[in-house]
Chains A and B, each alone.
Chain A
Amino acid sequence: MTDLSNSADPTATAELAETPPGRLSWSRLSEHPSLLIGGGIVVLMILIAIFAPLLAPHDPYAQDITNRAVPPVWFEAGSWEHVLGTDQLGRDYLSRLIYGARVSLLIGFAAVSIASVIGTTLGLLGGYFGGRVDMVVTFLTTIRLSLPIILVALAVVAVFGGSITIVVIVLGVLKWDRFAVVVRATSSQVARMEYVQSAKAAGASNLYIITREVLPNLTPQLIVIATIEIASAILMEAALSFLGLGVQPPTPSWGLMISEAKSYMFFSFWLISIPGIALATLVFAINLAGDGLRDLVSPDGRG
């Protein structure tokens, strides 16, 4: 069991894996303020990302190197022309921050979509069929878990060059383990349930049972894992970009913005704190929402 439950947050995986399948009870939403707050922030950020061209006051790529590192409006030297100031190349910081939300969210959602397809497929196969298939799935998951994920991601990006596509593919291919673990545990429970057994007896095909009976019952868990993984993928993109091996300039990515601002941090702290706070807020909100969702799907809430 241990070899399967040790992702970044093993307890979260274990809790989910032990949660019996069921459907989301949306009526209890109001009892979960963390879900409302977290979800609210996330939705807001998504809206900002979608409507970035309408919201950004300037072109995020337009540089003016005679007007660099103008501080935000709340500093004496700041102005309303650049509310959050300009960066080290004189680009409008607010506009870059707004477009940066696009990059972070796009990478988070896209990478996790790939990961969820891989992980869910493997988990379903292992959980539903059991036996040898399950052994293979468990084995693959163990191998994936034993690989140092950051190093492998860095190496692959270093070889193929940094771009949004490469980062999405690398993270997607590396981050499926939690999906596989939870889906495998839950689907093996579902597979043993009476209605599945009777559907089998009635001659329904495996594909039919998996897509019509098993998968719908996994939806709540999948949503919860997805939130955890999106948060983690966004952080990993930031870490890769921070090391200079993620999204490449001049794309406005929050990780890259932090990376570029880091040598200014002792003198112009706002340059690093603005994207830093934005990133932390997004990840915090996603995790908060994820926590709330987990409470929602576990039958008796927390503790």
Chain B
Amino acid sequence: MPIYLAKRFGLAVLVAFCVSILAFGLLRLQGNAAGALAGEGASAEDLAIIVETYGLDRPLIVQYASWLGDVLRGDFGTSYFFKSPVSDLIFDKIGNTVILAIMSLTIALAISIPLGVLAAVFSGSWIDRLCSLVSLLGQALPSFFLALCLVMLFAIKWRMLPASGAESWRHFILPAVTLGYYITPPFMRLVRAGMIDALSNDYVRTARAKGLPAHRVILKHALRNALVPVVGLVTVQLGLLIGGSVVIESIFALDGLGYLAYQAIGYRDFPVLQAVVLLLSVVYVVLTLLSDIVNAWLDPRLRVS
């Protein structure tokens, strides 16, 4: 077990390191970093000063090392556009994104677990088919289109919920439902598959044979087992959600990380962009690491492999 964990941890660090190189490379994509930093109407002298201040004349590898050093100390540099520290900006916005991600996930689980169980219990029936239809539709409907339709109905027609912003929990409902609906299908498939598996297991058959009521067998024994892999998926989806909310955050003018990144792209604000990309990747790496540790702890077979 310790060896497995150490290996797994080492891999995570290595991945994070490689991602940091890619994120650093993002800044260089646009070529003229000094020009972007100096901004409007910079003279040749201005540019020279910028090049010197930021050490842009040093070899790339040296620049990378110094950037990485700063990042490890929590210093992501200064935003080209807002002229304020990137870490402050991220700190400001990350709360909204995390709330949105958690709410979306909750909604996705609330839809997918009952539907997945129903689909498994009545496997092959019209309920099963209906569930897979709903899941297919979820994947087909572009999330931005669904978002706009929800705004039209809930914000404008029925005036039940605000159309945009992040002032209260009510502001998060429409974006969270949109994102939640979009990530429901994978959870539903997983719950369904897990339940079908669990229901065919010996102990469930035994419980049934003992004459326990069907709903108790399903809920108490089978579901518990079926949900184990879901935990792993939750951590992973949480990572993806935080990164995948760019479109939704910008539609709902929800002032979070995705929206910040979207603005940063528009303004060619590369320090912000590379910080967000790096942060999201690291969050993802950490979450998968956690889920692997949990899995290893749950499943002894994995510890040896």
Docked-complex contact A159 and B280, CB < 8 angstroms: no
Q: How far is the CA of A2 from the CA of B190 in the complex (A)?
A: 13
Asked if B81 is at the interface (CB within 8 A of a chain A CB), the reply is no
Docked-complex contact B277 and A152, CB < 8 angstroms: yes
Which chain A residues border B193 with CB–CB below 8 Å? 11, 15
Docked-complex contact B284 and A145, CB < 8 angstroms: yes
Closest to A272 in B: B148
Q: How far is the CA of A288 from the CA of B134 in the complex (A)?
A: 12
Interface size class of B (residues with CB under 8 A): 35 or more
Question: Which of B123, B246, B291 lies in contact with A150, CB distance below 8 A?
Answer: B246
Asked if A180 is at the interface (CB within 8 A of a chain B CB), the reply is no
Q: How far is the CA of A8 from the CA of B135 in the complex (A)?
A: 13
Q: How far is the CA of A287 from the CA of B190 in the complex (A)?
A: 17
Question: Which of A1, A139, A145, A258 lies in contact with B145, CB distance below 8 A?
Answer: A258
Docked-complex contact B247 and A239, CB < 8 angstroms: yes
Docked-complex contact A288 and B136, CB < 8 angstroms: yes
Docked-complex contact B139 and A287, CB < 8 angstroms: yes
Docked-complex contact A11 and B139, CB < 8 angstroms: no
Q: How far is the CA of A276 from the CA of B143 in the complex (A)?
A: 11
Smallest beta-carbon distance A38→chain B, Å:
9
Q: How far is the CA of A258 from the CA of B142 in the complex (A)?
A: 10
Docked-complex contact B265 and A155, CB < 8 angstroms: yes
Which chain B residues border A9 with CB–CB below 8 Å? 139, 185-186, 189
Q: How far is the CA of A269 from the CA of B289 in the complex (A)?
A: 46
Docked-complex contact A151 and B276, CB < 8 angstroms: yes
Docked-complex contact B189 and A283, CB < 8 angstroms: no
* Interface membership of chain B positions 108-136, coded 1 if the CB is closer than 8 angstroms to chain A and 0 otherwise: 00000000000010011000100010001
Most buried by A among B137, B145, B185, B186: B145
Asked if A66 is at the interface (CB within 8 A of a chain B CB), the reply is no
Docked-complex contact A146 and B265, CB < 8 angstroms: no
Docked-complex contact A276 and B18, CB < 8 angstroms: no
Smallest beta-carbon distance A151→chain B, Å:
5
Which chain B residues border A255 with CB–CB below 8 Å? 142
Q: How far is the CA of A8 from the CA of B285 in the complex (A)?
A: 16
Asked if A203 is at the interface (CB within 8 A of a chain B CB), the reply is no
Which chain A residues border B142 with CB–CB below 8 Å? 235, 238-239, 242, 255, 258, 276, 279-280, 283
Which chain A residues border B273 with CB–CB below 8 Å? 151, 155
Query: With A146-B19, A151-B277 in contact, do A158 and B186 touch (Cβ < 8 Å)?
Result: no
* Interface membership of chain A positions 260-279, coded 1 if the CB is closer than 8 angstroms to chain B and 0 otherwise: 00100110010010001001
Docked-complex contact A242 and B247, CB < 8 angstroms: yes
Which chain B residues border A245 with CB–CB below 8 Å? 265
Which chain B residues border A158 with CB–CB below 8 Å? 265-266, 268
Which stretch from B22-30, B173-181, B220-228 is at the chain A interface?
B22-30
Question: B135-172: which have CB < 8 Å to A?
Answer: 136-137, 139-145, 148, 152, 156
Query: With A231-B140, A235-B142 in contact, do A2 and B185 touch (Cβ < 8 Å)?
Result: no
* Interface membership of chain B positions 270-281, coded 1 if the CB is closer than 8 angstroms to chain A and 0 otherwise: 000100110011
Asked if B250 is at the interface (CB within 8 A of a chain A CB), the reply is yes
Q: How far is the CA of A272 from the CA of B265 in the complex (A)?
A: 26
Closest to B123 in A: A303
Asked if A12 is at the interface (CB within 8 A of a chain B CB), the reply is yes
Asked if A10 is at the interface (CB within 8 A of a chain B CB), the reply is yes
Smallest beta-carbon distance B258→chain A, Å:
8
Smallest beta-carbon distance A122→chain B, Å:
15
Asked if A156 is at the interface (CB within 8 A of a chain B CB), the reply is yes
Query: With A155-B26, A159-B30 in contact, do A143 and B148 touch (Cβ < 8 Å)?
Result: no
Which chain B residues border A155 with CB–CB below 8 Å? 26, 29, 265, 273, 277
Besides A146-B19, A239-B143, 15 new A-B residue pairs in contact (Cβ under 8 A), listed by A number: A2-B295, A6-B236, A9-B185, A10-B186, A10-B233, A146-B281, A147-B19, A147-B281, A151-B243, A155-B26, A231-B139, A272-B148, A283-B140, A303-B123, A303-B128
State the A residues within 8 Å of B (CB). Answer: 1-3, 6, 8-12, 15, 139, 142-143, 145-152, 154-156, 158-159, 231, 235, 238-239, 242-243, 245, 255, 258, 262, 265-266, 269, 272, 276, 279-281, 283-284, 287-288, 291, 302-303
- Pairs A–B under 8 Å by Cβ, sample size 23: A12-B186, A142-B15, A146-B285, A146-B288, A148-B280, A148-B284, A151-B265, A151-B277, A154-B246, A155-B26, A155-B273, A155-B277, A158-B268, A239-B143, A242-B144, A258-B142, A265-B148, A269-B152, A280-B142, A281-B140, A283-B142, A284-B136, A287-B136
